[in-house]
Amino acid sequence: MPNSQSKNENLTKRVLIGVSGGIAAYKICEVVSTLFKTGVEIRVILTRSAQEFITPLTLATLSRHCAYTDDDFWQPIHSRPLHIELGEWADVFLIAPLTANTLAKLAYGMADNLLTNTVLASTCPLLLAPAMNTDMWEQLAVQRNWQQLLTDSRYHCMSTASGLLACDRVGAGRMAEPREIVTHIQSLLHTRGKRDLAGKRVLISAGGTREYLDPVRFIGNPSTGKMGLALAQAALHRGASVTLVHGPANWEVPLGVQAISVISADQMQQVMLKSLPNADAIIMSAAVADVKPRDYSTEKLPKRSLPQTLPLEPVPDIVTQLAQLKKPHQRLIGFAAQTGDIITPALEKLHNKNLDVIVANPIDLPDSGFGSDNNQAIFLDLQGHKLEIAPCTKLQMAHHLFDFVISEGI
């Protein structure tokens, strides 16, 4: 098959982290530690007020490199100006927590310390994770500054969460959790800040469905929905409006994603068909059941009453229905989880179900498929293109899939 190639993730990635003075600064320790464990090179800048909450020694130990402060900025010990070196070095620049003070400086282009000078001396994507008291966050001046940064394509801005704050107030202003920040950084390292799905609406199904025999017994599969979650995160970070229709799951839905929880294939069918007209891309990554018990008992069946043979009936073929209803501008992507030969059945599904792209992924290889944080796959499309994706995280897999689909004209 033509245009066969392989993707891998081997390039060194460099992340610069700016910490300003807020109690949420302690969360940056987890961000730094997690990134380092994934092979990312890290440099850290602390403002003077940030050092009231966390020490340079802590972050230097976690990043395996000295952490910089304003004392370093004003010392003539560098061959080149420190803010220039750091700004040119970074692939992605994170500021977290972003305080109201530093937010105002960014909005007005001020440069009165090492952190803000480095912002102006850099051109890489800049991720902002604000954190402050609810009343502070909702001040007109703060929101004006925030909205101003949202108009700058260089800034990638994470929403604040609501919850219990350090001041004992319950409300908006809570900084995004470290795992969300790390995921967004990983996306930016892949896309280099591109928002190539801006204005697009992406509809994703995820997880397994459950077809119940009675209130406690069901036919199901081991799907956890992690691949669908990664697809939703990747699409969101690339600027898309995302709707995620998912079966039972034990993960949190990312802020900014519209999530609709379902249990059975019938429920997923109803939601997917209702959501289809508004979508530009539809990705069926869910592991939908093939059959369901013909009869359902509203009460738990005693063990002695369980049928010796279980009458079954088919569930709706959601992918086929979506393919029949989709418009010419819409792209429908399916998944084929297979053992052994993964290409032949995937090609059959691609053509028989009138898909635009199919993802053939093995579920019988180590650290791949259901429940794993990693995956590997082969992408196939109707034009005969083939792209093999070496083992990688499911978030990386999601970005590779969007790269593939976008190149075909989503």
CATH, residue 255: 3.40.50.10300
Read off the pLDDT of residues 240-252 as tens digits, 9 standing for 90 and up: 999 999 999 999 9
What local confidence, expressed as pLDDT, does residue 161 receive?
79
Give a yes or no: residue 232 inside a domain: yes
The yes-or-no verdict on residue 2 having pLDDT over 60 is no
Output the domain CATH number for residue 180. 3.40.50.1950
Binding-site entries for CTP: 290, 300, 316-319, 335, 349, 353
The yes-or-no verdict on residue 410 having pLDDT over 80 is no
- Reading the block at residue 226, the tokens are 């992690």
* Dist. CA 213–CA 264, nearest whole Å: 12
* Same domain, yes or no: 106 and 217: no
> Is residue 315 within 8 Å of 289, Cβ to Cβ?
yes
* Same domain, yes or no: 207 and 138: no
Give a yes or no: residue 385 inside a domain: yes
* Same domain, yes or no: 135 and 53: yes
Of 141, 170, 191, which marks where a domain is finished? Answer: 191
* Same domain, yes or no: 167 and 264: no
Share of the chain above pLDDT 90, in %: 83
Q: Is 66 a catalytic residue?
A: no
> Is residue 284 within 8 Å of 316, Cβ to Cβ?
no
Give a yes or no: residue 174 inside a domain: yes
Q: Which runs of E-coded beta strand occur in 92-183?
A: 92-98, 126-130, 155-157, 161-164, 170-174
The yes-or-no verdict on residue 1 having pLDDT over 80 is no
Give a yes or no: residue 315 inside a domain: yes
The yes-or-no verdict on residue 163 having pLDDT over 90 is no
What local confidence, expressed as pLDDT, does residue 3 receive?
46
* Same domain, yes or no: 117 and 16: yes
pTM score, whole prediction: 0.92
| Choice among 29, 66, 157, 167 that is catalytic | 167
pLDDT tier for residue 78 given thresholds of 50, 70 and 90: low
Give a yes or no: residue 384 inside a domain: yes
What local confidence, expressed as pLDDT, does residue 5 receive?
43
Q: How far is CA 184 from CA 88, 239, 287, in A?
A: 21, 12, 26
Instruction: Identify the domain containing residue 180 by its residue range.
Output: 5-191
* Same domain, yes or no: 372 and 296: yes
What local confidence, expressed as pLDDT, does residue 9 receive?
53
* Dist. CA 356–CA 406, nearest whole Å: 12
Average pLDDT over residues 208-219: 95
What local confidence, expressed as pLDDT, does residue 364 receive?
86
Read off the pLDDT of residues 31-76 as tens digits, 9 standing for 90 and up: 999 999 999 999 999 999 999 999 999 999 999 999 999 999 987 7
Q: How far is CA 31 from CA 23, 182, 328, in A?
A: 15, 6, 43
Is 271 or 134 the better-scoring residue by pLDDT?
271
What local confidence, expressed as pLDDT, does residue 162 receive?
78
* Same domain, yes or no: 135 and 277: no
* Same domain, yes or no: 387 and 248: yes
- Residue bearing tokens 């910089």: 68
> Is residue 318 within 8 Å of 271, Cβ to Cβ?
no
The yes-or-no verdict on residue 97 having pLDDT over 60 is yes
Which helix (H) or strand (E) covers residue 5, if one does? strand 5-7
> Is residue 184 within 8 Å of 126, Cβ to Cβ?
no
Chain mean pLDDT for the chain:
93
DSSP string, 369-394: STT-SEEEEEEEETT--EEEEEEEEH
* Same domain, yes or no: 248 and 390: yes
The yes-or-no verdict on residue 7 having pLDDT over 50 is no
Of 126, 159, 191, which marks where a domain is finished? Answer: 191
Give a yes or no: residue 93 inside a domain: yes
Residue 129 neighbours by CB under 8 Å, 6+ apart: 94, 95, 96, 97, 98, 158, 175, 176, 181
* Same domain, yes or no: 146 and 260: no
- Where would I find the H helices in 300-339? 318-325
> Is residue 39 within 8 Å of 186, Cβ to Cβ?
no
Give a yes or no: residue 196 inside a domain: no
The yes-or-no verdict on residue 6 having pLDDT over 90 is no
What local confidence, expressed as pLDDT, does residue 8 receive?
43
* Same domain, yes or no: 38 and 160: yes
* Angle between helices 100-107 and 140-150 in degrees, nearest 10: 50
Read off the pLDDT of residues 331-386 as tens digits, 9 standing for 90 and up: 999 999 888 999 999 999 999 999 999 999 998 888 787 888 999 999 999 999 99
pLDDT tier for residue 302 given thresholds of 50, 70 and 90: very high
* Dist. CA 105–CA 177, nearest whole Å: 24
Phi and psi at residue 262, in whole multiples of 5°? Answer: -130, 170
Q: What's the structural domain count of the chain?
A: 2
pLDDT tier for residue 279 given thresholds of 50, 70 and 90: very high
Share of the chain above pLDDT 70, in %: 97
Of 191, 217, 248, which marks where a domain is finished? Answer: 191
* Same domain, yes or no: 57 and 75: yes
